[in-house]
């Protein structure tokens, strides 16, 4: 018999999930309200993070003019790397500390928004970047309290960083990608303005859009949250919790819209409706994966992006070899979902149906259904056909597998956890998807 003073043993498995969303303001022309939003957030002196390309296009100045109009002082920081590292974050944090800002604005892609998150974190709470990086790569330190207001204005339609609590970085000393993740890193407000993406090259829209599709598909197919172990305390619950009914709503809507609008957005840069819907899609998927998480394709993408290759994508600056993030993610997605199919066949078929925009009949259903739908979409939007096109050969596979295995934080969220041998097969099948 249970005495009153005794409590029953905790269930071994998680029973709770959380979903949070960044307040979003969306629509063509919405960025003209940036000054008003920042004043509403109480800013008097803001650090404006923006990359040199966005600046060159005049987007940054259009927005800072509104800060002027509101009487908000600011300094622009544009030393933003495409793939941020612990060093580049530290440089931005030093700028933030010196400037004694009371608010942050980010205008750019995921790298820019992530840089603002970390500059805000370090200048508000002190410490070094690596202290806050997820364990075991870093110290896993949690911020002592909320950060200063941050207004995030994405200019690409990919990362969804405006909607997540994560900043992704390359930890140079350890040769590994990792992240800083905590709910306090979430931007206070996002402004998503489709007119800001009009200048993007088709290749950039393709890569960013395929990243969104992967965020949504990986989240929807992540292992269910209740199969994780229950954390010792609420503070130990990971940001990436596994699929759950609310994250599913966001992810499935992003898949449906991505299937409908990505081809159009890539084909015609003046199709503001399609580009806008892809931007919104990035935020929707960001809310979904900010709760459920991503797994195999993103784990494989890290070594693919950082490995030895000489890929020079069209549509991007040609000063150094570089694999756009979305293309590094999408190339292994057909093989990854072929591997995970048996863990949840119906959910894989559902993802294929959402992307294809039609029901899939009994005769067409199987492990190849989703890989086929993904490959068709990739081909239609000019994605590389696989690892070989990115400059990798069979001999490179062991190194890529080792790199992917370092991403245990992500791999544990796969509905079927891959061994080294499984990852080797996934990489091999991804050399050429067609
Ligand atoms: Fe991504």
Segment 90-109, tens digit of pLDDT: 999 999 999 999 999 999 99
CA of 216 to the centre of ligand 1 (A): 10
Residues 186 and 312 both lie in one domain: no
Predicted confidence at residue 59, as pLDDT, reads: 93
Start-to-end CA distance of the chain, whole Å, equals 64
CA of 159 to the centre of ligand 1 (A): 6
User: Could you tell me the sign of the dihedral formed by the alpha carbons of 342, 411, 385, 284, in that order?
Assistant: positive
Strand partners of residue 26 = 192
What 3-state class would DSSP assign to 80? coil
Predicted confidence at residue 402, as pLDDT, reads: 94
CA of 329 to the centre of ligand 1 (A): 7
Residue after which a domain boundary falls, among 192, 217, 250? 192
Query: CB within 8 A of 115, min separation 6: which ones?
Result: 49, 77, 80, 84, 88, 89, 92, 106, 167
Structural domain includes residue 20: no
Instruction: Say which residue the tokens 């925009």 belong to.
Output: 357
Helix (H) / strand (E) element for 180: namely: strand 176-181
CA of 42 to the centre of ligand 1 (A): 32
Residues 211 and 145 both lie in one domain: no
- Cα 129 from Cα 131, distance rounded (Å): 5
- Cα 276 from Cα 265, distance rounded (Å): 9
CA of 10 to the centre of ligand 1 (A): 35
Residues 242 and 302 both lie in one domain: yes
Structural domain includes residue 1: no
Domain span including residue 46: 30-192
Residues 181 and 233 both lie in one domain: no
Q: What residues have their beta carbon closer than 5 A to ion ligand 1?
A: 211
pLDDT at 319 over 90: no
Residues 177 and 276 both lie in one domain: no
- Cα 160 from Cα 120, distance rounded (Å): 18
Structural domain includes residue 170: yes
φ, ψ of residue 117 to 5 degrees: the values are: -60, -45
Asked if residue 331 lies in contact with residue 429, where contact means CB atoms within 8 angstroms, the answer is: no
Structural domain includes residue 350: yes
Q: Which CATH number goes with the domain that contains 72?
A: 3.40.50.1970
Structural domain includes residue 11: no
Structural domain includes residue 6: no
Instruction: State the angle between helix axes of 296-306 and 202-221 in degrees (0 to 180), rounded to the nearest 10.
Output: 140
CA of 393 to the centre of ligand 1 (A): 24
Predicted confidence at residue 26, as pLDDT, reads: 94
Structural domain includes residue 340: yes
Residues 250 and 382 both lie in one domain: yes
Residues 263 and 324 both lie in one domain: yes
Residue after which a domain boundary falls, among 166, 192, 218? 192
Residues 404 and 318 both lie in one domain: yes
Residues 365 and 256 both lie in one domain: yes
CA of 369 to the centre of ligand 1 (A): 23
What 3-state class would DSSP assign to 240? coil
Nearest residue to 286 (alpha-carbon basis) of 415, 156, 407? 156
Residue after which a domain boundary falls, among 192, 212, 233? 192
Query: CB within 8 A of 18, min separation 6: which ones?
Result: 237, 241, 291
Instruction: State the angle between helix axes of 333-340 and 345-356 in degrees (0 to 180), rounded to the nearest 10.
Output: 140
Asked if residue 167 lies in contact with residue 118, where contact means CB atoms within 8 angstroms, the answer is: yes
CA of 30 to the centre of ligand 1 (A): 25
CA of 209 to the centre of ligand 1 (A): 10
CA of 391 to the centre of ligand 1 (A): 21
pLDDT 10s digits, 174-219: 878 888 999 999 999 999 998 887 777 889 899 999 999 999 999 9
CA of 364 to the centre of ligand 1 (A): 29
Domain tally, the chain? 2
Locate all alpha helices (DSSP H) within 293-433, ordered by sequence.
296-306, 325-330, 333-340, 345-356, 369-380, 397-405, 408-411, 420-429
Structural domain includes residue 434: no
CA of 47 to the centre of ligand 1 (A): 26
Instruction: State the angle between helix axes of 245-267 and 345-356 in degrees (0 to 180), rounded to the nearest 10.
Output: 40
pLDDT 10s digits, 284-315: 999 999 999 999 999 999 899 887 777 888 87
CA separation, residue 266 to residues 22, 212, 216, 380 (Å): 27, 14, 19, 9
pLDDT 10s digits, 21-44: 999 999 999 999 999 999 999 999
CA of 139 to the centre of ligand 1 (A): 23
Confidence of residue 4 (pLDDT cuts 50, 70, 90): low
Residues 150 and 212 both lie in one domain: no
């Amino acid at each position: 018999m249970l005495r009153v003073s005794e409590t029953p043993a905790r269930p071994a498995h998680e029973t709770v999930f959380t979903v949070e969303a960044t307040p979003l303001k969306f629509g063509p022309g919405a960025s003209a309200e940036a000054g008003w939003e920042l004043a509403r957030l109480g800013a008097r002196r803001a650090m404006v993070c923006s990359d040199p390309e966005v600046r060159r296009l005049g987007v940054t100045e259009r927005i800072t003019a509104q800060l002027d109009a509101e009487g908000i002082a600011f300094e622009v920081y544009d030393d933003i790397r495409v793939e941020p590292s612990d060093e580049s974050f530290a440089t931005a944090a030093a700028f933030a500390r010196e400037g004694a800002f009371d608010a942050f604005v980010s205008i750019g892609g995921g790298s820019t928004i992530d840089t603002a998150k970390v500059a805000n974190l370090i200048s508000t709470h002190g410490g070094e970047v690596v202290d806050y990086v997820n364990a075991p790569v870093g110290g896993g330190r949690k911020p002592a309290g909320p950060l200063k207001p941050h207004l995030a204005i994405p200019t690409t339609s990919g990362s969804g960083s405006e909607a997540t609590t994560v900043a992704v970085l390359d930890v140079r000393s350890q040769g590994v990608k990792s992240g800083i993740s905590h709910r306090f890193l979430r931007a206070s407000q996002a402004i998503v303005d489709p007119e800001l993406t009009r200048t993007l090259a088709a290749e950039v829209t393709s890569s960013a859009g395929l990243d969104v599709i992967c965020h949504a598909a990986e989240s929807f197919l992540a292992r269910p949250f209740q199969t994780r172990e229950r954390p010792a305390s609420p503070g130990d619950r990971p940001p990436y919790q596994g699929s759950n009914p609310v994250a599913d709503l966001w992810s499935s809507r992003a898949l449906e819209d991505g299937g409908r609008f990505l081809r159009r957005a890539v084909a015609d840069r003046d199709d503001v409706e399609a580009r806008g819907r892809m931007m919104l899609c990035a935020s929707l998927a960001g809310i979904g994966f900010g709760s459920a998480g991503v797994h195999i394709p993103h784990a494989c993408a890290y070594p693919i992006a950082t490995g030895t290759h000489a890929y020079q994508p069209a549509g991007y600056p040609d000063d150094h070899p570089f694999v756009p993030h979305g293309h590094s993610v999408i190339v292994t997605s057909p093989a990854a979902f072929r591997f995970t199919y048996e863990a949840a066949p119906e959910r894989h078929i559902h993802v294929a149906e959402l992307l294809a925009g039609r029901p899939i009949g009994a005769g067409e259903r199987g492990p190849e259904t989703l890989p086929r739908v993904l490959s068709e979409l990739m081909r239609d939007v000019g994605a590389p056909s696989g690892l070989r096109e990115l400059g990798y050969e069979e001999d490179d596979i062991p190194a890529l597998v080792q790199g992917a295995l370092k991403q245990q934080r992500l791999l544990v969220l796969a509905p079927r956890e891959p061994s080294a041998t499984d990852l080797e097969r996934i990489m091999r099948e991804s050399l050429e998807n067609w």
